[in-house]
Amino acid sequence: MGQYGDLVNKQRLLLKAEEWSKGIKAIHGHSMSSLWYDNRPQDTEDGKKVIDTEFYSGLIQRKLADGGVVYFGNELKGEELVDAYIQHN
């Protein structure tokens, strides 16, 4: 099985990175519309508040005051995800 050792280790690392990517990087409750990723100023107009949760995967989940949910960002996958995981750890 030695010939497959690198593949097994690569898959093991990918599985660890995928689990890590579900973790929360930051939570931000606010009413600002000037965040780098925000392309929905209507969510916070007239002082409405939202809660943005940033995940290690690169996705940002926004919970709206009315209970709705919106996503921003691009989810890291494959080698990009593994690279981000290695840099973080």
pLDDT band of 3, cuts 50, 70, 90 = confident
Please tell me the predicted confidence (pLDDT) of residue 6. Answer: 87
pTM: 0.86
- The pLDDT score that the predictor gives to residue 1 is 53
Q: What is the mean pLDDT of residues 18-40?
A: 94
* Percent of the chain surpassing pLDDT 90: 87
Single out the residue of 80, 58, 81, 83 nearest to residue 71, CA to CA: 58
Percentage above 70 pLDDT, the chain? 98
Which contiguous run of DSSP H or E holds residue 16? Answer: helix 5-21
